[in-house]
Chain A
Amino acid sequence: MNNIIQYFKEIIQGIGSLLKGMSVTNRYFFSPGKIVTQKYPDNRKDLVMFERFKGEVVMPHNEKNEHKCTGCGICEINCPNGSIEVISKTIMTEDGKKKRAIDKHIYRLSMCTFCALCVKTCPSNALAFSQEFEHAVFNRALLIKILNKPGSQLMKGVE
Chain B
Amino acid sequence: MLFTTVSNALSTLSEPWWKVFYDFSSLTKSIDEGLRNSMPSFWAVTLEMLIIGVLFLLFYAAIGLFLVYWERKVCAFIQNRLGPNRIGPYGVFQTIADLVKLLFKELIPIKNADSFLFNLAPYIVIIVNFMVLGAIPFAKGLHAIDFNIGIFYVIAVSSMSVVGVLLAGWSSNSKYSLIGAMRSGAQIVSYELSIGLSIITIVILAGSMQLSEIVESQRTGWFIFKGHIPALIAFVIYIIAGTAETNRGPFDMAEAESELTAGYHTEYSGIKFAFFYLAEYINMFIVASIASTLFLGGWMPFHVGNWEGFNHIMDFIPPFFWFLGKTFFVIYLIMLFKWTFPRLRIDQLLTLEWKYLLPINLVNVLIMAFIVLMGWHF
Contacts and interface: CB of A to CB of B under 8 A. Distances in A.
A125 interface: no
Interface residues of A, number: 16
B339 interface: yes
B37 interface: no
Interface in A21-48: 21-22, 24-26, 28-29, 32-37, 39
Interface stretch (B79-87, B105-113, B150-158, B179-187): B79-87
Give the secondary structure class of B's interface: helix
Given A18-B341, A37-B82, A39-B85, A26 B77 contact: no
Contacts of B339: 25
A36 B360 CA distance: 43
Give the secondary structure class of A's interface: helix
Contacts of B77: 28-29, 32
A71 to B, nearest CB: 47
Contacts of A22: 336-337, 340
Interface string B72-107: 001011111110010000000000000000000000
Contacts, number: 38
A92 interface: no
Contacts of B337: 22
Contacts of B356: 11
Contacts of B81: 35-37
A22 B338 CA distance: 10
Given A21-B341, A22-B340, A29 B74 contact: yes
Given A21-B341, A25-B336, A35 B78 contact: no
Nearest to A20: B340
Nearest to B240: A18
Chain B interface size, as a band, is 10 to 19
A36 B80 CA distance: 6
Interface string B60-77: 000000000000001011
A28 B78 contact: yes
Contact of B80 (A18, A24, A26, A35): A35
A39 B79 CA distance: 16
A27 B71 CA distance: 17
Contacts of B360: 11
Contacts of B336: 22, 25-26, 29
A35 B82 contact: yes
B44 to A, nearest CB: 48
Nearest to B82: A37
B341 A32 contact: no
Interface in A97-116: none
A32 B340 contact: no
A2 B292 CA distance: 38
Nearest to A30: B77
Interface of B: 74, 76-82, 85, 336-337, 339-341, 356, 360
Given A11-B360, A29-B74, 15 more contacts: A22-B336, A22-B340, A26-B336, A28-B78, A28-B79, A28-B80, A29-B77, A29-B78, A34-B80, A35-B81, A36-B80, A37-B76, A37-B82, A37-B85, A39-B85
Interface of A: 11, 18, 21-22, 24-26, 28-29, 32-37, 39
